[in-house]
Structure 1
Amino acid sequence: MQSLPPDGLPIYRLLTGKDDASFCHRVSEALALGYQLYGSPAATFNGSHVVVAQAIIWPQGK
């Protein structure tokens, strides 16, 4: 595994967006790159739709 994420991506990322298939695909793509989930997902309602967030980290030295 690379010591740094590809394409200059940061080691820590917080993915956010509308709770839909597109968000799930973004999280899945990050996991396929080698990121790991960090903590539990969060969800809130903004008055029109559910907004979700998931932190991910790049594993270092593992």
Structure 2
Amino acid sequence: MSADESPLSYRLITGPDDRSFCERISAALAQGYVLHGSPAVTGNAGQVICAQAVVLPHAIALADAAVTSAVDGLESAHDAGGETA
């Protein structure tokens, strides 16, 4: 699989609130994505439009690791008497 074909870590799936939208969300879940946050809903010319973010679990783990590393860096700088701005 080339880099262009690798799955995206984050996707925002949008569309009318119909069976097709639910099938697209279900397919993403079957591919290993997890829901990220609550769905958003709006109206457009009398039609309900939905949006749902999905992420791959490894993307969450990478983001968590990055936050942990940044916090550790801030704490180390603070403990060493450095600035934390």
| TM-score of the superposed pair, with normalisation by structure 2 | 0.61
What's the offset of the Cα at 1:9?
2.2
Unaligned runs of 5+ in 1: 1-6
Partner of 1:13: 11
RMSD value over aligned CA atoms?
Answer: 1.1
Which stretches of structure 1, 4 residues or longer, exceed 2 Å deviation after superposition? none
User: If you compute each CA radius of gyration, which structure gives the higher value, 1 or 2?
Assistant: 2
Task: Give the structure with the higher percent strand.
Answer: 1
Structure having greater relative contact order (Cα 8 Å, sep ≥ 6) = 1
Aligned residues: 55
| TM-score of the superposed pair, with normalisation by structure 1 | 0.83
Identity of aligned residues (%): 53
Unaligned runs of 5+ in 2: 62-85
- Secondary structure of the residue aligned to 2:57 is coil
